[in-house]
Amino acid sequence: MYLNVRDATKIYGTFTALDRVSIGIDKGEFVCLLGPSGCGKTTLLRLIAGLAELDGGEITLEDANLSQMPARKRGFGIVFQSYSLFPNMTVAENIGYGLKIRGVARTDIAARVAELLDLVKLPQVADKMPGQLSGGQQQRIALARAIAVDPRVLLLDEPLSALDAKVRAELRDEIRQVQRALGIPTLMVTHDQEEALALADKIICMNHGTVVQAGTPEDLYHRPATRFVAEFMGISNLLPPEDIAQLFPDLLPSRRESERAQLACLRPEQIDIASVADGAATIRSISFLGNLRRLQVDTTVGMLTVETHGANPCRVGDRVALTVAPDACTWVIDDTEPRKAVPA
Amino acid sequence: MNASETIQQRARHQRLDADRLLTAACVGLPLLGLILFFAYPMIIVFLRSITVGDSYGIGNYVEVLGSSGFWRATRHSLVMGGATTLVSVFLGFIIAHGLYRCAFRGKWLIRAIIVLPLLAPSLVQALGLIFLLGRNGVISRALGVEIEIYGFWGLLIANTLYALPQAVMIIGAALVLLDARTYEAADVMGASPWRQFRDLTLPSARFGILNAGFVCFIITITDFGNAAVIGGDYSVLATEIYSQVVGQRNFNMGAVVGIMLLLPTVIAYAIERQAMKRQQAGQTTGQVPYRPVFAPPRDLCMAALSLLICACIVAVIGIVVYASFVTLWPYNMSLSIKHYDITLAGGYSSLWMTILISLGAAVGGTIAVFLLGLGLRRLPHVLAQPVQILAAMPAAVPGMVLGLAYILTFNSTSTPLYLLYGTAALIGIVNFYHYHTQGFLTVMTGFRQLPPALEEAAGSLGAGLGRTACDIVAPFIAPMLVSVFFFLFMRSMVTLSAVVFLTTPQLSVAAVTIMRLDDAGLTSQAAAFSTCVMAVVCGAVLSMKVILAMMQRRRAE
Ligand SMILES: Nc1ncnc2c1ncn2[C@@H]1O[C@H](COP(=O)(O)OP(=O)(O)O)[C@@H](O)[C@H]1O
Ligand SMILES: [Mg+2]
């Protein structure tokens, strides 16, 4: 691994914000830190940036220990959620500031600034003040400022969450393109699973100051390790073995007896549905979501969520039969208190 | 790890230490100043108050508490403080309500007039009243009546005029906190304008009014200039200290009276800070400013009242300027500039000296509070808090007490600090520490508005503390720094209470010269000198407005 965090611990008073967290980022890799608000993502990012001090563990970059190194010596780039452009400097001065500190010649700075403005697709704004730009433009400039100095690692703390949905999607793709083009190892914090799925080579899912699971987006979506990950990474039907035995007895053999409390995780699109006159289940509601339909289906063990693509003749009240392919089920550890709220 | 890396690592440690050192210096130097020029003199004044002969004891207190003069002065101070507070808060509320909750034209004029009393030494109100209502005053002569202006009533009017700007500003700040949506909601629910005033405006201004009351009370009981010029036989604690120290050369007794004056101000200040916190806690973001619509009975009434009050201020200050040009008040009212030829020893030298001292206090003071704010941000809370408390304490100390503390501390040959005694530097220093709290709090407001992300972004880009301070922090809080600079300059130009003990025959300041001219019966020359001081301060105010407007334009660009 290029950047390594081993057993990072951070304690605020009596509250443990991070509890022995270990993560790694490879060269050129785009890693997302995903988790609910307050789980310690920002804290971890700030430790890596050198903006906060470790209470335990260590951070190394290419095997050099960073613990004693102040933020300004690390050569990392950082983009914050709130616009953090220097309000007293023009856009060009903002982007060139890191180079100016490094004593780069003026003409070289100007050339580099122009290049970066092209890269973030804002070639016209060099002489504007930050206050004259929209939120999305400001974040692009903040990104350009962070990568101007060829950072060894790029750190992004929810850079998109203050933006409108449309701007967010645009900028999300651009961040990905820029990161691919430059190959900068990147760590991005987000609480939006869709964003993480779309961007990351690797997702690190956190909860309560610990890492719950790390892996590729597919891993986390299709093979969640715990109930928390399954619920956080989208909609899922989580059923105890008794219910599975009733509904889909074929799935039971895939469960390993040895492990503690387990639930079967069935994603809504993995359940196949067919109208059958004497079906054991009944459709209770249908929401039309454009590319798919989400059905609430009443079964002998309670409601299940099912999604179907394309034309579908089902109506509310129809009796249906449900089937699941034997390999579509993942058994997850139940690590959270049962929740009443249905995931959005 | 190879050799070059080792060297790099060592360099990193050194840089880290350099930043730590810089932080320590940022906090340490201003802190040292606070200890040396505020805490230490205050301890000395306390020790002197309990010094009897060669040992300590409460003898002085017993003596002071047993004297009828002291109790009379205390009673007068409290009565005067209370009366002034009531009147100035009442009038201040009228003006603030007119400015922020009513619709009429010409508010800029009221705004401009209302701050006039702050631009002159406090004794100018007293001088103006004497020219208006004194034995030879225009009004007394026009009406043919003899008014006894020296004493309670004259002092009450002078103090009220002096405290009024503060009352208006504080109550106004509280009123603007209540935003338009609240009133719109009340409108929709059918509340009459009177109900809105009673149920929304008044309660929201509650803490502002309380706060203004305490500020006016402190200003009044600690003021010396008005009391000295127009108080007559109505002795108050501030004049009592002066007569103990300057009249009877009894420093220890002066210290006792000083401590007794300190008590009510400290209490009032502590309560005021609490009221302020409560008010700030109610603040919300994303406000829609209230835009009053014209309501004839209310607005015409408020405009008339405001204008009447403003007319009084203009009359009192304007008469001083006018009198300074009158050949021989009241016998020869033709105009001349002969009073501008100051006959008192030293002439205008004290004016130039005051400008110099004020510039010094403003430059040094602005830098000091900036460094302090910068360093405190980087200090852990447990260390920062005591420093912050100390930095906010000077506001509770009356100028007379601070000045007395200085003379006791720096006029003693026992420490090298004696070298400062009788120098212009010491007067600049006492002015800065006298107004330290206001300057410090203003800068801290600026620092609170500075998003931590800005400094962190600069740090991640490789900027050290010094660079961040110059490139990012200072430009960001520049408007606050400009305000602090001019505030310190203007206060230093006009203050009397703290410096009155520190001037010497060779080294005087403007406010003291005005007092001496008035004492010597050269009232017209005192008016002329006051006019010069006001001209300088008005020039400063205008420069500040221009600079702040330019900054705002640049940022909005
Ligand atoms: N400086 C601090 N002092 C005390 N508690 C903090 C501090 N910073 C963060 N925390 C706490 O640590 C937890 C994790 O915060 P954070 O890392 O910001 O979460 P997020 O995952 O939303 O970015 C939160 O409960 C927060 O209240
Ligand atoms: Mg966060």
What is residue B557's predicted lDDT score, i.e. its pLDDT?
63
Is residue B167's pLDDT more than 70? yes
Both B206 and B309 in one domain: the answer is yes
Both B208 and B317 in one domain: the answer is yes
SS (H, E, C) B265-310: HHHHHHHHHHHHHHHHHCCCCCCCCCCCCCCHHHHHHHHHHHHHHH
Please report whether residue B6 resides in a domain: no
Indicate the top mutation candidate among A42, A47, A48, A55 to test ligand 1's pocket, ranked by most ligand atoms within 8 A of CB: A42
What is residue A111's predicted lDDT score, i.e. its pLDDT?
95
Both B119 and B225 in one domain: the answer is yes
Flag the least confident range among B155-159, B221-225, B291-295, B455-459: B291-295
Both B387 and B257 in one domain: the answer is no
Please report whether residue B290 resides in a domain: no
If you measure CA to CA, which chain A residue comes closest to B556?
A: A131
Distance, CA of B220 to CA of B122 (rounded, Å): 10
Is residue B5's pLDDT more than 60? no
Total domains, chain B: 2
Ligand 1 atom with the shortest distance to the CA of A52: 1
Span from the CA of A17 to the centroid of ligand 1 (angstroms) = 6
If pLDDT is split at 50, 70 and 90, which confidence band does A313 have? confident
Please report whether residue B318 resides in a domain: yes
Both B450 and B415 in one domain: the answer is yes
| CA-based torsion, B417, B423, B428, B434: positive or negative | positive
Burial class (CB in 10 A: 0-12, 13-18, 19+), A335: middle
Span from the CA of A18 to the centroid of ligand 1 (angstroms) = 9
Asked if the C-beta of B555 comes within 8 angstroms of chain A's C-beta atoms, the answer is: yes
Distance, CA of A219 to CA of A238 (rounded, Å): 17
Please tell me the distance in Å from A61's CA to the nearest CA on chain B: 13
CB contact under 8 A, B15 and A145: no
Report the CATH number that the domain containing residue B554 is assigned in CATH: 1.10.3720.10
Position with higher pLDDT, B130 vs B272: B130
What is residue A341's predicted lDDT score, i.e. its pLDDT?
45
Q: Strand, coil or helix: what is A8?
A: strand
Range of the domain at B311: 67-283+296-336
Best of A79, A82, A88 to disrupt the B interface by mutation (most B CBs within 10 Å)? A88
Percent of chain B surpassing pLDDT 70:
95
User: Over the stretch A255-305, which tens digit does the pLDDT of each residue have?
Assistant: 877 666 688 999 999 999 888 888 889 999 999 888 888 999 999 888 999
Both B75 and B184 in one domain: the answer is yes
Within 6 A (CB) of ligand 1 lie A 12, 17, 35, 37-43
What is residue B17's predicted lDDT score, i.e. its pLDDT?
66
Indicate the top mutation candidate among A43, A54, A205 to test ligand 1's pocket, ranked by most ligand atoms within 8 A of CB: A43
Pick the residue whose CA is nearest to atom 27 on ligand 1.
Answer: A38
Kindly report the average pLDDT of chain B as a whole number. Answer: 87
In this complex, the residue of B454, B461, B478 whose CB is nearest that of residue A98 is B461
If you measure CA to CA, which chain A residue comes closest to B465?
A: A72
Is residue B405's pLDDT more than 90? yes
Amino acid at B240: E
Is residue B295's pLDDT more than 80? no
Percent of chain B surpassing pLDDT 90:
46
Pick the residue whose CA is nearest to atom 26 on ligand 1.
Answer: A38
Both B270 and B400 in one domain: the answer is no
Q: Strand, coil or helix: what is A204?
A: strand
Pick the residue whose CA is nearest to atom 3 on ligand 1.
Answer: A12
CB contact under 8 A, A131 and B457: no
Q: Which residue has the tokens 């249905």?
A: A342
Burial class (CB in 10 A: 0-12, 13-18, 19+), B191: middle
Is residue A1's pLDDT more than 80? yes
Both B368 and B506 in one domain: the answer is yes
Q: Strand, coil or helix: what is B238?
A: helix
Alpha-helix runs per DSSP H in A50-192: 71-74, 91-101, 106-119, 135-147, 165-182
If pLDDT is split at 50, 70 and 90, which confidence band does B8 have? very low
What is residue B12's predicted lDDT score, i.e. its pLDDT?
47
Both B186 and B264 in one domain: the answer is yes
Is residue B248's pLDDT more than 70? yes
Both B113 and B166 in one domain: the answer is yes
Is residue B291's pLDDT more than 80? no
Distance, CA of A69 to CA of A48 (rounded, Å): 11
Domains of chain A: 3-222 (3.40.50.300), 227-332 (2.40.50.140)
Both B478 and B545 in one domain: the answer is yes
Distance, CA of B522 to CA of A45 (rounded, Å): 72
DSSP element (H, E) containing A57? strand A56-61
Tokens of B272: 């005021």
Please report whether residue B195 resides in a domain: yes
User: Over the stretch A48-68, which tens digit does the pLDDT of each residue have?
Assistant: 999 888 999 999 999 899 988
Ligand 1 atom with the shortest distance to the CA of A45: 17
Please report whether residue B3 resides in a domain: no
CA distances from B100 to B94, B179, B491 (A): 10, 11, 27
In this complex, the residue of A71, A89, A129 whose CB is nearest that of residue B460 is A71
Please report whether residue B2 resides in a domain: no
If pLDDT is split at 50, 70 and 90, which confidence band does B11 have? very low
Asked if the C-beta of B454 comes within 8 angstroms of chain A's C-beta atoms, the answer is: yes
Average pLDDT over residues B239-256: 87
If pLDDT is split at 50, 70 and 90, which confidence band does A337 have? low
Both B412 and B550 in one domain: the answer is yes
Phi, psi of A8 (to 5 degrees): -65, 130
In this complex, the residue of A51, A73, A98 whose CB is nearest that of residue B12 is A73
Distance, CA of A70 to CA of B537 (rounded, Å): 46
- Note the pTM of the prediction, 2 decimals: 0.84
Span from the CA of A232 to the centroid of ligand 1 (angstroms) = 20
What is residue A68's predicted lDDT score, i.e. its pLDDT?
83
Indicate the top mutation candidate among A39, A78, A80 to test ligand 1's pocket, ranked by most ligand atoms within 8 A of CB: A39
DSSP element (H, E) containing B333? strand B332-335
CA distances from B210 to B161, B282, B460 (A): 19, 15, 46
Distance, CA of A56 to CA of A9 (rounded, Å): 5
ipTM above 0.95, yes or no: no
Best of A73, A112, A184 to disrupt the B interface by mutation (most B CBs within 10 Å)? A73
Please report whether residue B56 resides in a domain: no
Distance, CA of A265 to CA of B408 (rounded, Å): 82
Pick the residue whose CA is nearest to atom 7 on ligand 1.
Answer: A12
Please report whether residue B141 resides in a domain: yes
What is residue A344's predicted lDDT score, i.e. its pLDDT?
39
Residues of A in contact with B551 (CB under 8 A): none
